[in-house]
Structure 1
């Protein structure tokens, strides 16, 4: 009996049930990259913009190997999230994405007609016609974007890895925002290692470091102008939708979205579930000092009337929300509640007396305004939405930077033309949307400076008193400058993995890893000996019972090739070399996995060193901690450092000594281990 495989309909997939429940779409999540339908959630990220050079086959091999080792699928991301919510140990892993431009695909040898079919993607963001459409000016871009053809983008993200105290470390970052700019040791070390690998195949033409800026009191994500960020995203996962339902009945605004909002069929994929997404990356510099001055001096003063200046309300008029996220259309003063109400629209404010039409959030998410003013159905309007995944960069807002700080804007969408480009062209930079002469989006409506390189100032009408008809005319300057960007496609997992078809495997060691390597090398030597003698492998020639080779392979769940030349007649003589190849790959996988585990532990030790936390014994219980167990399992010497009222052990040199021990151990794994014939 055969079962017909039906093409999935992503237009009908709403409220995905995430893993560990009854789950219909697990193959789809396993095929798409993480971060598309749910933000990766890490506090720190690094972006490497690549230009492939030299051997293209080597570049493809690297991409495939990088994918197998690091790129995180949506399924793996969901599984990690589940473990985290259950307070279980989550592997201290790097989160990674890999993206390609049109030029990148073609550099790798893929024909133009076989690329994702979207005109904007094929044009690229630097194309003069695209510059005109989006209102950009590449002359003001940074050199890495302006002077190079970008082929690919690697995103690497992580939190501080400090084992069971990771949450404590995150709270430390929240209280002291300067720590948010300090890269986690794991991320810093991994980026350095990956850049060294890239030396042979590509140039890193631009590198960007990002961090999630958080409110020191609430922990909510904010951006450099001080407003809560990440509010009102389209929701795809049932868990997120149920959380939204806790404080919203969706009567005025339904945040749910079908997967067709963000997924586009990958033409190079081979599965029914092979989908990717178009990525927009834009580096948006924010002049915080000038913005703060403009809000207070040029706007708040004009709104005071006979009373005092209203900087909070003035800022809310520009963004459409107060800094804590409260929509200005439903309140004239910040309510201070978290989470803020997202169940609202603008039907009760048709004249813009509460929320101006040029306010950022009303411009880019009009919530039904188009159906009222230009007869566009709400469901059609909602398909212009994007899934935003931005992160901050540069100087902290508390220092009121004028440059070198802002937002690394990222968004996923199924169509550049119908989503980001439409939003930017027809809404944000259009003076007559949603009504005539309301002006451009006061935040991002004009990113190109004037001929004299001075930020553009517009005159807007603002409600003098919230909800009242009286309007005040006041100038406001566009303090956001586009510094460079590009359009990318997010390939499906199977396409990326196919570039290096032999993946690393997750190994469960039998005993100490170093001894396991020695044992595998011993089996290789024994197989070579049997090959010279033309002896049977897999089954004993006399008893036809499983032999020691087959037992060794079966214990490790490794594929095995038989070779017997007697009355049974099984296999071919190539089985010797095939099995040796399998074991060499197994040794490589053991070394890679063990090296990764040690690198994570090294990063953890580096973080503990910075925080001056005890290692070896838990500070409260004085029981052996994870470091002692890790070193003990590998029969490695460990140095304690505990300074408490009850115990004083070692000194601060213990951190560096333990790190050296692990580095030496990694080196020893990669050196030739003496073979011992017959170690079974």
Structure 2
């Protein structure tokens, strides 16, 4: 029996967007809706069910289009989910992202007071993500999704964000993204990292054993919780000009700029990891989906190849913590989805043009606290686990121009000082993506 056959996931009941990668290239749209009338909200759910793919996307992954539907705590309450069921959800989900902003490091410019309306307001009840490899098919699917609330006076679409893969195929900072996703046991999708076995299904999908061998806490009744997953949705504005200016100021040459950027991220812009190519970019390595993920950090404990504080190493330390008293990295693995929005800042431009650009970050997993919040607060926001308590993630951390980033070199380490914030949170929500059975249960509620 193969590793991926050890558990039978009920793929026909699991929303496909949870387990499967977006296409490349891609176009997408995020819609947020508010439910003002319980009956209308249930009818909306009933109309959305036929639009949701399960398991593997049923359509051609290059030209097809599919949606994922999720609900906030307030959304489930607006649908009339009984109080005993609402109370069975994770405390973090019930509180919502805005209430936990300070703990997450969303303060100052990133604080809820500065978030884009209606994010974090309590008015967001339903979140719909539509993704496709073809613009025409996306438009057709989004139109069908928008028509789902047609004639429903008690449902209103309150926010829309379009996204697309930039012409470079990279993020607004210029780096290849989406590398290093874990394979999920039972999904049928192979791991791109031969050094990492697929993680247990219960780490991502509720109702299955997780890495501890136990069933993670699940909302009640079982029909509501099983085959569902928690989803984190965040709009992150990227200060690309500030990032380029900082590298230009700190680097001795253009080659040094590229090296400093790679040291901060943990990969070269092509996607080639420093762990395998520490001295120069290797585009061929970066383009190979298997080779670029076939590495660990245990052979580089002091970070001479890839600094321990680099973004990619912080977000997934891999085997670097295997000998570090009781830290099981697999308990903090998660599915990450990132889509770009806004225009690219032209290559070489160092001045901000005022455009809103950035990343729509989406997380999927069985535990908001142990996965997303742990990584965000303990690994990205704090440096204790790498022996540098005052250092935050140099790229996405809540820096305030007072922090530093250490690059181990011989004979003397290099320290980048006065790191400004390069990423600003524009808002976000904690959501729950239910199974198809759960969506039918929601549509048929009679409370």
Match of 1:260 in 2: 202
Q: TM-score, normalised by structure 2?
A: 0.84
Q: How many residues align?
A: 417
Aligned to 1:98, the other structure's residue is in SS state strand
Following TM superposition, by how much is the alpha carbon of 1:196 offset from its aligned partner in structure 2, in angstroms?
4.1
CA contact (8 A) 1:269 1:492 kept: no
* Offset of residue 384 of structure 1: 0.1
**Larger strand share, 1 or 2:** 2
Contact 2:76 2:125 in 1 (8 A): yes
Could you tell me which residue of structure 2 aligns to residue 325 of structure 1? 271
In structure 2, relative to structure 1, the CA distance for the partners of 1:65 and 1:184 (3 Å cut) is: closer
Deviation of 1:457 (Å)? 4.4
- 1:289 is aligned to 2:229: no
> RMSD over aligned Cα, in angstroms?
2.9
Map Cα deviations across residues 428-456 of structure 1 (whole Å, 9 max, x no partner).
10132311346111112217xxxxxxx54
Confirm or deny: 8 A CA contact 2:19 2:187 kept in the other structure. no
Give the distance between the partners of 1:273 and 1:121, measured in 2 at CA.
13
Q: CA deviation at 1:98?
A: 1.0
Q: 1:51 aligns with which of 34, 43, 46?
A: 34
1:201 aligns with 2:142: no
What is the deviation of 1:474?
2.2
The 8 Å contact of residues 94 and 156 in structure 1, kept in 2 or not, is answered as: yes
Quote the residue 1:389 is aligned against: 337
Residues 222 and 206 (structure 1 numbering): CA distance in 2 closer, same or farther, change over 3 Å?
A: same
Deviation at 1:120, TM superposition (A): 0.7
Q: Distance in 2 between the 1:105 and 1:39 partners?
A: 27
| Pair 1:410 & 2:362 matched | yes
Does 1:355 pair with 2:329?
A: no
Q: Deviations over 1:18-38 (max 9, x none)?
A: xxxxxx837x00111111121
Q: Is the 8 A contact 2:65 2:138 kept in 1?
A: no
Structure 1 match to 2:405: 460
Partners in 1 of 2:45 and 2:118 — Cα distance? Answer: 22
Q: Shift of the alpha carbon at 1:102?
A: 1.0
Mapped pair 1:98 → 2:69: yes
Tell me how far apart the structure 1 counterparts of residues 227 and 404 of structure 2 sit (CA, whole Å).
Answer: 44
In structure 2, runs of 5+ residues without a counterpart are 208-217
Are residues 486 and 293 of structure 1, via their aligned partners in 2, closer, same or farther at CA, if it must alter by over 3 Å?
same
- Asked if 1:436 corresponds to 2:391, the answer is no
The answer (yes or no) to whether the contact 2:224–2:434 under 8 Å persists in 1 is: no
In 2 relative to 1, CA 195–318 (structure 1 residues): closer, same or farther, beyond 3 Å? farther
Partners of 1:392 and 1:408 within 8 A in 2: yes
Aligned-partner Cα distance in 2 for 1:260–1:397: 40
Q: Are the counterparts in 1 of residues 44 and 149 from structure 2 also a CA contact under 8 Å? A: no
CA distance in 2, matches of 1:103, 1:325: 39
Which SS does the other structure have where 1:488 is aligned?
strand
Q: Which residue of 2 aligns with 1:74?
A: 55
Q: Please name the residue that 2:214 is paired with.
A: none
> 2:256 is matched with which residue?
310
Q: How does 1:14-413 map to 2 (within 5 A)?
A: 14-16=3-5, 25=8, 28-41=10-23, 43-54=26-37, 56-67=38-49, 69-75=50-56, 77=57, 79-80=58-59, 94-115=65-86, 116-127=88-99, 130-136=100-106, 137-160=111-134, 185-187=139-141, 189-190=143-144, 192-194=146-148, 196=150, 200-215=153-168, 221-236=169-184, 240-241=189-190, 244=192, 250=194, 253-254=195-196, 256-265=198-207, 267=219, 274-298=226-250, 300-301=251-252, 309-331=255-277, 332-337=279-284, 338-339=287-288, 340-372=291-323, 374-377=324-327, 380-398=328-346, 403-413=355-365
Paired residues of 2:11 and 2:187 also in contact (CA < 8 A): no
Relative distance call for 1:395 and 1:187 in structure 2 (3 A) is: farther
Query: Secondary structure, in 3 states, of the residue corresponding to 1:74?
Result: coil
Of 418, 435, 439, which residue of structure 2 is paired with 1:496?
Answer: 439
Question: For 1:238 and 1:110, how far apart are their aligned partners in 2?
Answer: 30
Counterparts of 2:275 and 2:102, CA distance in 1: 33
Q: Check the 8 A contact 1:148/1:205 in 2, yes or no.
A: no
Conserved? CA contact 2:73–2:93, under 8 Å: yes
Q: 1:402: Cα distance to partner? A: 5.2
How far did 1:201 drift?
Answer: 2.4
Q: Could you list the per-position Cα deviations for residues 147-206 of structure 1 after superposition, in whole angstroms to 9, with x for gaps in the alignment?
A: 4432111122233267xxxxxxxxxxxxxxxxxxxx954256445534645x52222222
For 1:343 and 1:443, the matched residues in 2 are separated by 23
